[in-house]
Amino acid sequence: MLAGSVHAQSLLTLEDAVKIALENNYAIRIARNDAQVSQTNVAIGNAGMLPKVTASFTDSNGIQHLSQTRADGTVNSVDNAHSSNINYGANLDWTIFDGFKMFARYDQLKALQQLGESQMKLKILDRIGAVNTMYFDLVQQQLQLSALDTALVISKQRLTLAQNRFSIGKASKLEVLNAQVDLNADTSALLKQKELFAQTKTQLNQLLARDITTDFKVAEDIQVDPKLNLSELTALAQKQNPQLESLLISKKVAELQLKQTKANRYPTVKVNTGYNFSEAKSELGFTTQSSARGLNYGLSATLNLFDGNSQNRNEKIAKLTVENSKLALEEQQQALQTQLALAYQTYQTQLQLSELEEKNVQIAQQNLNITLDKFRIGTITTFEFRTAQLNFVEAKTRYSNTLFQAKLAEIGLRELAGNLTF
């Protein structure tokens, strides 16, 4: 039954699912754009190292009633006198020294780019982990479907046997009714599991940011790597864990911010130059027309002598920010070690449980086969047969669940170590 329902579906491998998520997932695409913004911001001009050049143009005009009285008593007046003043030119302003703040700012921009890349890596790892988790959840649900499907087939055989035995007078109507009730219960359990399976498929399609109605089938089993080593994972995590990496970069950003704040104690030196044109006209006055053009240049320096102790306060705040970033880094290092230790304990326990449950499945299968043979010849009760049947389903369910939990622990360990791949 199960094989027939997925026969026409295409196989979605874990590698394909991860690739689709990396290409389509909205959170990853947003993270890529954010990282691109940080990369674009890394420019010497954004750090204040380049001059600023501006062009300007001003055209002022007026119509006025003018009256002038000269020293000799002569009075001149003009109605609707036109006047105009035109100024245009280009100016350059360049900060050539600011206490090395611009260099600290440039280094900070590069650190922020690294932070953006680290955060993108964190988002990618998170999504790969989510895809892995949901994919193997589907695999273990499929294994449970297989167990329930097997139980349903056996229940149908049992009902047929009960009906045949009843027809020849070797069984009571009660045995037929009990077989029918158990068959209905198995059918109900299978339908519920199929619904959960279909819902999880829809959720995986959503995670992959593709058509949620896309049908597919998944791998048939769960392969768990039994050779993970805690010391190796810990060493990798210290180098590659994106949360740790982000906090390390954040500490560097805070230190560079402190450096920029301290730079305000030094003078700021600027050079400026420009070439400007001006032309003025007036219908009344000693000068009715004038024009000028030429180069201007200069040097300016400013030094903060007193600002109400703002400089001291800003430096103190910047130092506290650096201290907090150090504490956050140390806290994350400790938390990471704890998470790795706990996840590794879970990983080892689930590996042991999966080995035990695999043996239980073999035992339950043998017991069910023997019980089925005895039931066919009528040497055991229906209660004993049903017990063996349920034990088989439960053993298969527990085995698939322990495999899934072991795989989750493996995924968690690799994610913490920063090396979660396909």
Per-residue pLDDT of the chain (422 residues; tens, 9 = 90+): 343 344 457 999 999 999 999 899 888 888 889 889 999 999 999 999 999 999 999 988 888 776 766 667 677 777 777 888 899 999 999 999 999 999 999 999 999 999 999 989 999 999 999 999 999 999 999 999 999 999 999 999 989 988 988 898 887 899 899 999 999 999 999 999 999 999 999 999 999 999 999 999 999 999 999 999 999 999 999 999 999 999 999 999 999 999 999 999 999 999 999 999 998 887 666 666 788 888 999 999 999 998 889 999 999 999 999 999 999 999 999 999 999 999 999 999 999 999 999 999 999 999 999 998 888 887 888 888 899 999 999 999 999 999 999 999 999 999 999 888 75
Q: How far apart are CA 121 and CA 241, in angstroms?
A: 9
Is-above-0.85 flag for pTM?
Answer: no
Q: How far apart are CA 264 and CA 225, in angstroms?
A: 56
- Residue labelled with tokens 């750090």: 47
Cα–Cα–Cα angle for 258, 262, 263, rounded to 5 degrees: 115
- Residue labelled with tokens 């040497």: 379
Report the SS3 class of residue 275: strand
Q: How far apart are CA 405 and CA 346, in angstroms?
A: 8
Q: Phi then psi for 218, rounded to 5 degrees?
A: -115, 175
Q: How far apart are CA 342 and CA 94, in angstroms?
A: 57
Q: How far apart are CA 323 and CA 276, in angstroms?
A: 51
* CA–CA distances in Å: residue 376 to residues 151, 159, 172, 370, 371: 16, 11, 15, 10, 9
Own/partner contacts of 210-213, CB < 8 Å, gap of 24 or more, are 210/20, 210/24
